[in-house]
Amino acid sequence: FNAVLGPDFCKNVALAYVTPFATTFSDLVSKAAAGTPDPGWDFEPDKLTIKKGTPLIVVDQGGELHTFTEVAQFGGGFIPPLNNQEAAVPECAGGFKDLAVARTRILQGSQLQVTGLSKGEHYFQCCVHPWMRVTVDVK
């Protein structure tokens, strides 16, 4: 990944050199472009219901960094080849240069806490891997 995206973009601490778990950049891009992203790269669950006031704890158990970014509607992220023809959503467009996106970054093995969600549906996606999406319904 770093050979394509630049030094230190991905800091895989777990599975980078262990096959069959390693994913090449070309495999990731070709599957995403075909609209069939790797099912192992996903938020689980895809839909979640919580009570108002409940903190949402998001843990990155994967081998690469992700974001957990709230968006008005799902769309593309800031790496065009991974967007499957979708335009980047405004919340992701600036990449990590945008402080709002950078604050939603989750490194491997770390977590992010989301609090203060209002009642209703909230949409979160990874701005790096935009097919990673979850809808959170706050009751």
**pLDDT number for residue 72:** 98
Would you say 79 and 5 are in contact if contact means Cβ atoms under 8 Å apart?
yes
**pLDDT number for residue 66:** 92
The CA dihedral of 62, 65, 69, 74, to the nearest 10 degrees, is -70
Enter the tokens of residue 5: 């995206």
Per DSSP, 88 falls in state: B
The string of DSSP codes covering 23-81 is --HHHHHHHHHTT---TTS--SSSEEEE-TT--EEEE--SSS-EE-EEESS--B-S-GG
**pLDDT number for residue 20:** 52
Higher-scoring residue by pLDDT: 52, 82: 52
pLDDT by residue (tens digit) across 3-34?
555 665 555 544 444 445 566 777 777 787 77
**pLDDT number for residue 50:** 97
> For residue 37, is the peptide bond before it cis, meaning its omega torsion is within 30 degrees of 0?
no
Higher-scoring residue by pLDDT: 76, 6: 76
pLDDT by residue (tens digit) across 92-138?
999 999 999 999 999 888 999 999 999 999 999 999 999 999 999 99
**pLDDT number for residue 16:** 47
**pLDDT number for residue 61:** 84
**pLDDT number for residue 19:** 47
pTM assigned to the model: 0.81
